[in-house]
Amino acid sequence: MRAVRAYVGLGANLGDARAQLAGALESLARLPQTTVAAVSPWFRTAPVDADGPDYLNAVAALTTALHADALLAALHAIEQAFDRQRPYRNAPRTLDLDLLLYGDAVIATPTLTVPHPRLTERAFVLRPLLALAPDLVLPGGHRLDAFWPAVADQRIDEVCPPNVAQTTPAGRAPGRPKPARIPSGDRSVYPPDEGST
């Protein structure tokens, strides 16, 4: 099968969210017939339609020859490996992996909806996805960036990705993280090193 560009949303707000996102990216990179082409900056975000701690969110761009349902099954397996529990809807979670887009596919089965149905309503998805693909056009023909103004009031703050040294150079206010070294254009994958804000 020909490889397609798929986008996966990552989120965590229980346990060590940084470690879980980093581990999830490692797991995605180990999937068969799949490479992680790029990872967005990471963001701290307020829970939407839910309570609990702030989330850590990012989006990964995959190049994959897995079928969409096989990719979803793989995402669920990675969630389980990170002890994902589902006690109630929108419960806090150690790891959430959502298939946001799978090439230009429009999929509506009992277990998989693509594009992800809440993709355009959430700043925690839109902002990292737009960071990776600012000119993205959805399968329905709408530009992704057209949805940003409606969610711009949702709280979302970029945080340092884990490979950025947490140094405090002279002259910089203590406690203020060094700006993330985020390449423009074709973003490279942040190696999932340990790190903290």
Residue among 35, 113, 163, 197 that touches ligand ADP (CB under 6 A): 113
Task: Give the x/- contact pattern for ligand ADP in 68-97, rule: CB under 6 A.
Answer: ----x-------------x---x-----x-
Q: Is 96 in the site for Mg ion (CB under 5 A)?
A: yes
| Residues 6 or more apart in contact with residue 53 via CB below 8 angstroms | 13, 14, 47, 92
Which residue's CB is nearer to ligand ADP, number 92 or number 192?
Answer: 92
Question: If we measure between CA atoms, which residue out of 130, 133, 120 comes closest to residue 158?
Answer: 130
Residue among 8, 12, 43, 98 that touches Mg ion (CB under 5 A): 98
| Minimum CB distance to ligand ADP, residue 127 (Å) | 17
10 Å CB burial of residue 9 (0-12, 13-18, 19+) is buried
| Minimum CB distance to Mg ion, residue 113 (Å) | 11
Tokens for 6?
A: 């798929």
* Angle separating helix axes 17-29 and 68-81, nearest 10 degrees: 140
Q: Is 79 in the site for Mg ion (CB under 5 A)?
A: no
Question: If we measure between CA atoms, which residue out of 150, 166, 165, 158 comes closest to residue 118?
Answer: 150
The number of C-alpha atoms within 13 Å of 29 and in the hemisphere containing its C-beta is: 14
Catalytic residues: 84, 93, 96, 98
| Minimum CB distance to ligand ADP, residue 187 (Å) | 22
Radius of gyration of the chain (CA): 16
Q: Is 36 in the site for ligand ADP (CB under 6 A)?
A: no
| Minimum CB distance to Mg ion, residue 19 (Å) | 19
Summarize as ranges the residues that interact with Mg ion (CB under 5 A).
96, 98
Summarize as ranges the residues that interact with ligand ADP (CB under 6 A).
72, 86, 90, 96, 98-99, 111-114, 116
